[in-house]
Amino acid sequence: MRIGLMGGTFDPVHYGHLKPAAEVKARLELDKLWLLPNHIPPHKAKATASSEQRLAMLKLACDEFPDMDICDIELKRNAPSYSVATLEALQQAFPGAEFQFIMGTDSLLSLPSWHQWQRLFSLCNLVVCQRPDWHLPKDAEIQTELAQRSCSVTQALAARDKGQHQSGKIISLSVKPQPFSSTAIRRAIAAGNINACRAAMPKAVLEYIVTNRLYLGG
């Protein structure tokens, strides 16, 4: 079973998360796609919405994207959401599964600052959604790993067809850019500009935000 994992605070979830995740699932022909909300993100400030609220919004988003599921393993852990610890736990819970950890180019660039980051390559493949506004400098620390581990979508699918279980690959693919960010959405809501958010997320998610008065200024 090949499972895609997209982690994040999802504060709030929006199409900038959901549409690339759906595209990765289709392009790599994954069996499952799990959204993986952080409880205590080690690389970001604490989320504005509570874990329960973010989980509720993800459930509403999955109503529009029924091919996706939620993995709440990190929400149940009262500790920083280190990806290595999460993947180790998932490997134990789902022996034989092949995990594809989805990230953006910006996350790949910062990967050497992650907790025990090199151990990730024994636990999963990295799927890098290329963004036109992010480029890896030639002297970036991750370039060495990228040169050794780079894998195309075609190669990944060929390995699957041969029944080869893979980990340690870095699979790069271009996805359709999405002009949305959680930060911009929170700022718009705080400024009272709800209409600016209507194209950014599922209707049910925005209704939940309005009903629960999330992200209001002051």
Q: What is the pLDDT of residues 158-177, one digit of tens each?
A: 999 999 988 999 999 999 98
CB 23 within 8 A of CB 5: no
**Span 80-94, average pLDDT:** 93
**Span 200-214, average pLDDT:** 97
**Span 64-81, average pLDDT:** 91
**Span 138-143, average pLDDT:** 89
The pairing of beta strand 2-8 with beta strand 98-104: parallel
**Span 11-28, average pLDDT:** 97
**Span 37-42, average pLDDT:** 80
Please state, in angstroms and as integers, the Cα–Cα distance from residue 21 to each residue in 17, 168, 197, following that order: 6, 20, 20
Report long-range pairs for 170-173 (Cβ below 8 Å, ≥24 apart): 170/108, 170/125, 170/126, 170/128, 170/145, 170/146, 171/28, 171/100, 171/125, 171/126, 171/127, 171/128, 172/127, 172/128, 172/130, 173/24, 173/27, 173/28, 173/127, 173/128, 173/129, 173/130
Q: What one-letter code names the amino acid at 106?
A: D
d(CA 195, CA 104): 27
